[in-house]
Amino acid sequence: MNSLVTADYLVFIFYFLLVTSYGIWIYKKKKKKVTDTKDFFLAEGSLTWWAIGASLIASNISAEQFIGMSGAGFTMGIAIAAYEWVAAIALIIIAIWFMPIYLKNKIFTMPQFLKQRYNESVSLIMAVFWLFLYIFVNLTSILFLGALAINNLSGGQNFHLIMIVLACFALIITLGGMKVIGYTDVIQVVVLIIGGLVTSYVALTLVSEHFGLGKNILAGFNKLMEDAPEHFRMIFDKPGEKATQAEVNNYLALPGIAMYAAGQWIANLNYWGCNQYITQRALGADLKTARTGIFFAGFLKILMPVIVMLPGIAAYVLHKNGGLQSEMLANGKVSADNAYPAILAYLPNGLKGLSIAALTAAIVASLAGKVNSISTIFTLDIYKKYINKEATEKKMVWLGRLVIAVAMVIAIAFTWNDLLGISSEGGFIFIQKYTGLISPGVFAMFILGFFWKRTTGAAAIAGLIFGFLFSLFFMNYAPGVFGHETWLYTAYINSQGVYEIPFLLNMGYSFFFAVAIMVVISLFGPKINPKGLEIDKSMFKIQPSHTVLIVIIILLVTLIYAKFW
């Protein structure tokens, strides 16, 4: 059922040629600046607001969203969209308060900011950490999940071939620099959105037809809400004594209203505001362009759940009522991760190729953005500072290209036979396991560095270390040491029979304790810290047109929560 026909291949080939030829055209158009590092790594001054916004989303959405979030829609429903809709508000915060600080201080990389604000030790530690994280966690997981998803959808046995094709496709785009990435991401997002909407349309049509309502997407959506009302609740209640294991699992993943005072904000603000992979798109622009691009990304984030989550809820309702029985099985058991592929199996000839192109666009854009960030950090923050301080602009650009190729080869080598065990842990869990543990300390280091001049380098290192240790403690040891019920937390028995504190609450506790330690250590430092940033209120003023965009985004998110609370 998942096999592709000629029409599907033609649609996919057209997409490939369109992106590749457009990338080559952009590269040749800007070829005279190819030896400039700021242009290669940041596309300084040349990305428009719509290119920045599209590139942010293209880099963010990948296989783990299409497969993982759709699977979460199957099991827990619309509540998983909190990651997308809270991100829309987080992007407003970053545009107003984070970007002026980066741009005023001419920040090109996150390690550069840490050196400027703290010291070289903090910068070097984080540069090395980010390189390992981006290569061995993010790049490998994107490549593995992407190849696995497309291989399953195409019904073939070409996992390794697909992996190489995805890597080569990303390399073609990345070697042209951030300009090529930024502008080709516009096409990637258009394909991603069109292909995603087509899949959602087919999903709602399948539901409508299954219940004898004809091909009516509104009737299909209404049937989803009628048949699975529990899947249209944004806030999960705290589990009581009679709660089912499924209800407990949902709360462990998304702990009701409590997560909005803790980890949900930390995860989003750290990802969107303190992450080279993401912020790099806006660092080469002026403040007005950067802000407009970020607000545009905020609007797109509101749309994303329709594309990546709704097919999962449709698959749940269909399966619940006797449909998609064989399609949802993996190794003889129902697998939520099969929700998106199960819907794709019913796409007409040609449209299946479009949806696979949409998934490929998301994967390739994420690979390109990630490997460009790896190259930027290594070239500017390690090679230029510690290996060859006299390196010319031209040499650094060519080294940047070499690093891109080497990073991709390493990722392929570690993904080829799944040496890191991504399949056994699950892609989403694999990413969260290694990024979520460090996020509280990293965000504490950035947020205090932004807005409290007295924060010291020693405090930053302590915050990073203790943030990690607290995360590890709350995740694995706190219930055993302090018990299952305390004034601070309630631990619940997970699917493995082990007491667990909700992960997003762990992040909140770890962040607040890391901040407390950083404040205490900084108070023992100098009262006037020469490394403190000079901030004035004028930096954060926003234009009337931006105020309108902010109000619209906030109103849309508010209406969504009011409807589905």
User: How many helices and strands (H and E) does the chain possess?
Assistant: 28, 4
Do residues 445 and 310 share a domain? no
In a shared domain, residues 361 and 501: no
Residues 167-217 have pLDDT tens digits of 999 998 888 777 788 888 888 888 889 988 999 999 999 999 999 988 899
HSE-CB for 461 with a 13 A CA cutoff? 11
- State yes or no: pLDDT of 1 exceeds 50: no
Could you tell me if residue 223 is inside a domain? no
Would residue 35 count as lying in a domain? yes
| Residues 252, 343 share a domain | yes
Amino acid at site 243: A
Whether residues 11 and 88 share a domain: the answer is yes
> Residue 66 above 70 pLDDT?
yes
Domain assignment present for 79: yes
Residue range of the domain that includes 493:
436-534
Q: Which amino acid is present at 166?
A: L
CATH of the domain at 239: 1.20.1730.10
Does the pTM surpass 0.85? The reply is: yes
Nearest Cα to Cα of residue 229 among 129, 148, 317, 356: 317
**Per-residue pLDDT at 346:** 86
Residue 286 falls inside a structural domain: yes
Contact 381, 127 (CB under 8 A): yes
Same domain flag for 328 and 450: no
Distances (CA, A) of 209 to 315, 321, 346, 358: 13, 12, 13, 25
**Angle at which helices 178-210 and 49-60 pack, to 10 degrees?**
60
Distance CA 80, CA 105 (A): 36
Kindly state whether residues 457 and 349 are assigned to the same domain. no
The answer to whether position 133 is within a domain reads yes
Name the domain boundary from 348, 367, 386: 367
Q: How many domains does the chain have?
A: 2
User: Is residue 219, in this structure, part of any structural domain at all?
Assistant: no
Q: Is residue 407 part of a domain?
A: no
Whether 355 and 472 map to the same domain: the answer is: no
Same domain? 346 vs 448: no
Range name among 298-302, 425-429, 462-466 with the lowest pLDDT average: 425-429
Residue 89 three-state SS = helix
Residue 360: inside a domain: yes
The pLDDT-based confidence of 394 (bands split at 50, 70, 90) is confident
Boundary-marking domain end, from 367, 382, 409: 367
Reduce the secondary structure of 299-367 to three states and give it as a string: HHHHHHHHHHCHHHHHHHHHHHCCCCCCCCEECCEECHHHHHHHHHCCCCCCHHHHHHHHHHHHHHHHH
**Same domain as 470, residue 331:** no
Same-domain check for residues 349 and 462: no
Residue 464 has a CB neighbour count (10 Å cut-off) of 22
Say yes or no: 357 and 476 in one domain: no
Q: Buried b / exposed e across 188-225, counting CB within 10 Å, b at 16+?
A: bbebbbbbbbbbbbbbbbbbbebbeeeeeeebbbebbe
Q: Domain check: are 184 and 272 in the same one?
A: yes
